[in-house]
Structure 1
Amino acid sequence: MITRGHLIGEIVDGLTSISQQVSTRCQLGLTDLNRYLEDFFKDYLNEALSLSLVNLNDERSNEPGLDLGDELSSVAFQVTSTKTAQKVNKTLKTTSKRKKVFDEINVLVIGKKQASYQLEQTLSRSFSFTEENIWDVDDLCKKTISLPLDRLQALYELVRRDLARVRIELEIPDEDGNFSTSIDSYVEKIPTPQMSDFKKISRLSKGLCRGIRAHG
């Protein structure tokens, strides 16, 4: 039987490994997060927080300031690997036109957020935005551990199903632009049919025919 502790441990380990991989990319100047990672956290947040977030980049190639939104609950998220106050303030500024749609704006830093933030007061007040609205993966783990068992089970299945693909998407290419692994590494390969030697089959068939005629 899978215990609650086991579920939490696997979920936390999965999220932490993603966070560490993103942090390594950021140290190398690779701060972009692809669509697959946005969708992974969309599904995770929906299950963990009982939301119905959609990827706002479906509406246009790049939604200014926001990545995920639930208009019914009036909650939206910017998913980013950049932890700076400048990034947070820019998110609030570019999101101002969506204020009538979303009452609550959160910034989810995939990695480790700063210890404190100097927020632009005019912008933050207009959204009732405080440092409590800036989350990192540690915050997400804290919000997870107290969830009911059935929700933990669903998150465990999500992480187990998608973690390999997420880590591949975050992999850093070598100097030639090649990746050390691919999704093919996690897919069972179709065995290659082994062709028999036709000459051997032909000789065997002729031998059988001669034997049949000899005893006919």
Structure 2
Amino acid sequence: MKHLDLINEFQTLLTQLRHEVESASAMQLYDTHKIAEQVICGVMRELYGFAGLRNLNAEQGNFPGIDLADDTGRIAVQVTATADLSKIKDTLKTFLKHGLHKRYDRLIVYILTAKQDRYSQSAIDAVTNGNFSFSADTDVVDYRDLSQRVPFVSPAQLQAAVNVLKAYLRGIPVGPSDEDIDPPAEPSEVLTGNLVELYFPNVIYVAQVANEIMEKHRKGRARNLRRTIGEFCRQAMTPVPSTYVTYNDNLVTFFDLNTADHPYRYVIEEGGLPRKYPHENSAESTKATKECSNRCCVFHCSTGSTQSGSHGTRTISCSYFCRAIRMVMCVPRCGEVTGSPVVRYSNENTTRRIPPRY
């Protein structure tokens, strides 16, 4: 679950902050404490809902008694790495001395390292003397108190708190993959896909392969008649499109073989009468239709290249054509061949011919 991953990430980052503060304190390097004030300000703003919480030291250097405040919520926060009782008492004395108890109803002391197991409430009450209410159990907090609130905040609040910790601890901006896991209320952009419709010709054409080719095929070693036709075309220097299949001694294609200038005129028997069949005429013609579709329908990528490779010509598997006559697919650019399945591009009227192949 994504939310659990987010909780674990928050705990890891908060622990890292604590260890860095402890190390800096041991070396008497207190710049880390100043940065930690800003981190805690952002984290508490998200986890506690203190929307107006801000760093007072940014407005007035070394603000007396407190470091953070939310004037609207009347909340004040002291951020310190010192966890003993004397620090709590000194904070309360300064808080009362400057009359801050009149501006804020609650004072929270956040310990950057780890708070003590218990504090003397009577010693604290002796300092406040009834002028201000401060509880040692609920108003002294550390990383454990923050962690206890995490399971009860929304994913958006938790993600925002994690972003604050990551920005200060890692020094890198939050990337697109780290955005709020909640879906946005309104889409930031509208995407429109390129819709492509495929249409099949109504008939397929069947003609007998030329006797000359069939004689070579029977005498040769090639078992595949297409291979024999390809060898014949290479020798005769008469390339033909590869958009055909063979059954027995016949050539099957979507091209109209009754025209005088069709591309297969050199490989079918001269004087023969090509036949045409509807797709549903027989199981054999249906199978031929699928194989022809597989060989005919070629999509050209955005480069318009017909070379093989990641940006070259791709042949669509015939399994796509077994399910429906009309399809909708998303492709960058497509090819169209007369007599082949018609492919129309929604935003561009482009006609591309399949290059001749042997």
**Which residue in the other structure is 1:58 paired with?**
58
Measure how far apart 1:150 and its partner are. Answer: 1.6
Inter-partner Cα distance in structure 1 for 2:144 and 2:34: 22
Q: Which amino acid aligns with 1:69?
A: A
**Which residue in the other structure is 2:115 paired with?**
113
**Which residue in the other structure is 2:209 paired with?**
none
Inter-partner Cα distance in structure 2 for 1:78 and 1:162: 20
**Which residue in the other structure is 1:8 paired with?**
7
CA contact (8 A) 2:93 2:127 kept: yes
CA contact (8 A) 1:105 1:127 kept: no
- The range that moved more, 152-161 or 136-145, is 152-161
1:70-95 per-residue CA deviation (whole Å, 9 max, x = no partner) reads: 01100010000000110010000001
Measure how far apart 1:49 and its partner are. Answer: 1.3
In our comparison, the structure showing a higher alpha carbon Rg is: 2
**Which residue in the other structure is 1:79 paired with?**
79
Backbone CA RMSD of aligned residues? 2.0
Q: Which amino acid aligns with 1:39?
A: Q
CA contact (8 A) 2:33 2:80 kept: no
Inter-partner Cα distance in structure 1 for 2:44 and 2:14: 12
Inter-partner Cα distance in structure 1 for 2:167 and 2:31: 23
Larger relative contact order, structure 1 or 2 (CA cutoff 8 Å, min sep 6): 1
CA contact (8 A) 1:99 1:127 kept: yes
Q: Which amino acid aligns with 1:128?
A: S
SS in 2 for 1:113: coil
TM-score between the two structures when normalised by the length of structure 2:
0.43
Inter-partner Cα distance in structure 2 for 1:76 and 1:151: 21
Inter-partner Cα distance in structure 2 for 1:14 and 1:164: 10
Between the two proteins, the alignment pairs up a number of residues equal to 165
**Which residue in the other structure is 1:24 paired with?**
23
**Which residue in the other structure is 2:47 paired with?**
48
- Mark the CA change 1:20 to 1:42 in structure 2 (over 3 Å): closer, same or farther: same
Inter-partner Cα distance in structure 1 for 2:131 and 2:28: 32
CA contact (8 A) 1:76 1:102 kept: yes
Gaps of 5+ in 1: 167-216
**Percent identity, aligned pairs only?**
28
CA contact (8 A) 1:33 1:81 kept: no
Measure how far apart 1:163 and its partner are. Answer: 1.7
Higher helix share: 1
Inter-partner Cα distance in structure 2 for 1:165 and 1:79: 21
Gaps of 5+ in 2: 173-358
